[in-house]
Structure 1
Amino acid sequence: MTQDLNENLSLDTVIRQRIKGLRLAKGWSLDALAARCFLSPSTLSRIETGHRRIALDQLVPLAKALGTTLDQLVESAEDDDVVIRPEPEHQRGVTTWLLSREHSASGTTVAKMRITPERSMDDVGLSVHPGREWFTVLSGTVSLVLGERTILVQEGQAAEFSTMVPHRVGAHEGPVDVLTIFDHGGERAHLHSHD
């Protein structure tokens, strides 16, 4: 019972901090937010400082006014394990480490990839799928084929492109390490294509 009470107090404090933090991030005064969610500035001030209990019927308009959802405003502050321990997945000429959790809220997947010349550009067909992809080159040089063009992307450079253009990413004259962000279409096409 005491632990549940402490967890509820902790979540209550986090919700108050989120309300105030989101308000300040938007550059709004108490008056500005109060007008948007039909509360008095003094009520809002007492909510933020913990001098008034937060009622559910207040949270819904607060979340809407702050541009978030009720679920995001009241989600648990518990992150049992914030460290991601990527396991390498090997395919011919490509090793991939997933650096984001599956089913991330943002709808994107972050991965580090090492591509070696063993992944022959002739063995890998051009890929086309809805969405966009982004990568930055950590080491080496990427050979990026976009339609009829071949673009060399050097270490320290980044590339972003529509994945509706037929494309292929490979290593140019040696291994290359990239940090990449895929949307759902890119994840299915590039990370699960051999499942």
Structure 2
Amino acid sequence: MTANEAVDARVRRRLRELRGEQGLTLQQVAERANIDVSTLSRLESGKRRLALDHLPGLAAALGVKADDLLGSAPPPDPRVRAKPLKMGAMTAWPLTSRGGAGGLQAFKLLVPFDGAEPPDELPVHEGHDWIYVLSGRLRLVLGEKDFVIEPGEAVEFSTWTPHWFGAVDGPVELIGIFGPQGQRLHVHG
């Protein structure tokens, strides 16, 4: 592979990436770049060689510099920057972005001590929950059993088992991993 072929392949890839990121069609970019849509399609697919005079128009059509078409895509920012969620008295900080593996979402939760008691009918739903207590003491009711989970302890359970959790004698910080069903119940409601 020659240096020109490598540049050509890189520009084709960046054209597709930038067009996709911006949700633009071939037609829209072609009109903005003042080239024929079939020419743009052939450029992207590699059926036509890229000419240097195409770069300024394509870059302008995508709102980037020509250098952005010649380089690699910058790596995405890996930090999760979601805002905390309030659910009644609890606060949840998302630790994963939406669409995690298998729909699983991780949260740091602050469960305040508010004297809450489990409801008469404990919730049941599809899924599996995993909880790790960072600080405080967590009361976990699973079916007929009542547990106190201490800092440094983890629990995991099927959410088909009736369940509820709350703070024992002070605020509790925990990390929780919930599937989509548990996330809706624990984090959104």
Determine if the TM-score, normalized by the shorter chain, exceeds 0.5: yes
Note the C-alpha offset of 1:124: 8.7
Distance in 1 separating the partners of 2:77 and 2:134 = 27
1:100 maps onto 2:92 in alignment: no
Distance in 2 separating the partners of 1:180 and 1:80 = 25
SS for the counterpart of 1:106 is helix
Q: Which residue of 2 aligns with 1:121?
A: 117
**What is the RMSD computed on CA atoms of the aligned residues?**
2.8
Distance in 2 separating the partners of 1:92 and 1:169 = 14
Q: Which residue of 1 aligns with 2:161?
A: 165
Count of aligned pairs: 127
SS for the counterpart of 1:110 is strand
Contact 1:92 1:119 in 2 (8 A): no
Q: Which residue of 2 aligns with 1:44?
A: none
| 2:10 paired residue among 5, 8, 23 | 5
Q: 5 Å matches for 1:29-178?
A: 79-118=75-114, 120-122=116-118, 126-178=122-174
- Name the larger-Rg structure: 2
Q: Which residue of 2 aligns with 1:41?
A: none
Which amino acid is the alignment partner of residue 5 of structure 1? Answer: R
Distance in 2 separating the partners of 1:6 and 1:81 = 22
Q: Which runs of 5+ in 2 are unaligned?
A: 14-71
Q: Which runs of 5+ in 1 are unaligned?
A: 9-75
Distance in 2 separating the partners of 1:186 and 1:118 = 22
Distance in 2 separating the partners of 1:171 and 1:131 = 23
Which amino acid is the alignment partner of residue 165 of structure 2? Answer: V
Q: Which residue of 1 aligns with 2:33?
A: none
Which amino acid is the alignment partner of residue 155 of structure 2? Answer: A
Note the C-alpha offset of 1:114: 0.4
Contact 1:94 1:119 in 2 (8 A): no
SS for the counterpart of 2:169 is coil
Q: Normalising by structure 2, what TM-score? A: 0.59
